[in-house]
Amino acid sequence: MKNLPKLVGLAATVAVLALPALAQDAAPEATTAAAVAVPTDVVWILNSLLFLIGGMLVFWMAAGFAMLEAGLVRSRNVTMQLLKNVSLFSIACTAYYLIGYNLMYPLGNWSIGSDETGGYLGAFAFAALEAVGVGSDAVDDYSYASTGSDFFFQVMFCATAASIVSGTLAERIKLWPFLAFTLVLTALIYPIQASWKWGGGFLDAMGFLDFAGSTVVHSVGGWAALAGVLILGPRLGKYKDGKVVAMPGSNLTLATLGTFILWLGWFGFNGASQLAMGTISDMADISRIFANTNAAAAGGALGALALTQIIYRKPDLTMILNGALAGLVAITAEPLTPGLGAATLIGAFGGVLVVLTVPLLDKLKIDDVVGAIPVHLVCGIYGTIAVVFTNPDASLSVQLIGIVTVGVFSFVISGIVWLALKAVMGLRPSAEAEYLGLDKAELGMEAYPEFVKS
């Protein structure tokens, strides 16, 4: 009897070792079972779950933008930057509900155009969710996902486009004109152009490819930021006597944390853009998208690391952070078809573009505080073009048409709105308020002790 525990242990071990053989014996039956179609309600549930989880990850990107911007602005403007991020996110969610969602997804109810000829302007109506306790016989699209999950996922993309603008114009724009522009961007500009691709509009009919939004989201935010910064001008003291005056950020720890948060959120941004999780194929594709997204970010960081060492003889952390983000933006237009090597190279060239574009903007006296224009605009354009390298269905001419169409629309309309706000409300605070810092001038907070008027 004293050997009983050993015998029991031996029997358990043999049973565990025999499991693979038992599984092989059962394989034909398992294969037969796998061939049976998954019930539609399970597909609907899994797709909805994908949107909800993806939406939560993209929501977390709002924290990433806030931390990145708070770390890259000077101490006397940190609170204002955080306030802008919370406010713009809230405005985006509300505007998208009131106007944006149905403008972006008219479901055949185009105000101008149609699904057959190509839509140009979507429907004007409030977003509406399913009724409480709805059954499968009353959902809008039983083969897709819940409207609530779709709205939740899409509204996060809308808020992301607005977040891009915030960092570029930091430290020298008044709060209320910025929020007014955010309202127009999220209610009209972003949804209208997004409907041309994702809503089944004319760019989609042409074959324009933008999987998760290198153009539809990131370049739009970049174009809006570029229009704003050209009208607003640089920070006081940024360019003196033909030289660029360095204005270091308040906290690179926060900026690094923000970058890693954005990196994490991007898995939801790209992964959930597969828009389906109810089959083995979809789940394999989502996994591939996650891996490629991560590879591109790593490639972008390494590209910036190498080039800053070559050019400046030492690595530059802020360039490397933006290099990782550049890789993420670049892969967003097509994160599915590349292999890991191609995804890494696509991201690496994005990191190189950032390092080359930042000094070019300074030569043009375009003061982009956080580097959003190189990351989101330049690499958004590059990433959309790069689709042709890995997706055989992509046409370079169609990709360029999409880039130019969205770019002209976003830049021109944004410029008109910025000019109107400048005339009506004024965009910049006084020189004294800008030197003092917007935390003190607009929010009434005490100035930080390191403040030196220069």
SS3 26: coil
Q: Which CATH superfamily is domain 40-124+142-441 in?
A: Ammonium transporter AmtB like domains (1.10.3430.10)
pLDDT of residue 37: 58
Tokens linked to 230: 């050209």
Amino acid identity at 18: A
Nearest partner of 330 among 162, 210, 193, judged by Cα:
210
Cα–Cα distance measured from residue 420 to residue 427, given in angstroms and rounded to the nearest whole number = 10
Nearest partner of 88 among 6, 30, 168, judged by Cα:
168
pLDDT of residue 454: 42
219 in Cβ contact with 30 (< 8 Å) = no
Nearest partner of 351 among 334, 331, 367, 366, judged by Cα:
331
- What pLDDT digit, counting tens, does each position of 216-244 carry? 999 999 999 999 999 999 999 999 988 99
- What pLDDT digit, counting tens, does each position of 135-162 carry? 777 777 788 899 999 999 999 999 999 9
Q: For residues 34, 150, 379 and 405, what is the CA-based torsion angle, rounded to 10 degrees? A: 120
**pTM strictly above 0.85:** yes
Nearest partner of 427 among 255, 227, 275, judged by Cα:
227
379 in Cβ contact with 404 (< 8 Å) = no
Cα–Cα distance measured from residue 275 to residue 289, given in angstroms and rounded to the nearest whole number = 12
Amino acid identity at 95: A
Residue 386's alpha-carbon distances to 16, 198, 339, in angstroms, are 49, 19, 13
Cα–Cα distance measured from residue 324 to residue 347, given in angstroms and rounded to the nearest whole number = 8
pLDDT of residue 365: 95
pLDDT of residue 10: 35
Number of Cβ within 10 Å of residue 133's Cβ equals 6
Nearest partner of 292 among 267, 309, 274, 312, judged by Cα:
267
Residue 219's alpha-carbon distances to 43, 302, 383, 395, 451, in angstroms, are 33, 23, 10, 19, 35
347 in Cβ contact with 328 (< 8 Å) = yes
Cα–Cα distance measured from residue 363 to residue 115, given in angstroms and rounded to the nearest whole number = 45
Nearest partner of 249 among 74, 448, 65, 68, judged by Cα:
74
The conformational region for residue 174 under phi > 0 = left, psi -120 to 50 = alpha, else beta, is beta
Q: Which residue matches tokens 């990850």?
A: 57
Cα–Cα distance measured from residue 178 to residue 371, given in angstroms and rounded to the nearest whole number = 18
Q: At what angle do helices 190-197 and 220-232 cross, to 10 degrees?
A: 150
SS3 283: helix
Residues 6+ apart with CB under 8 A from 190: 100, 104, 158, 161, 162, 217, 220
Residues of the chain with pLDDT under 70: 1-38, 447-454
370 in Cβ contact with 165 (< 8 Å) = no
Cα–Cα distance measured from residue 295 to residue 337, given in angstroms and rounded to the nearest whole number = 13
Nearest partner of 352 among 300, 426, 418, judged by Cα:
300
Side-chain half-sphere exposure of 428, counting CA atoms within 13 A: 15
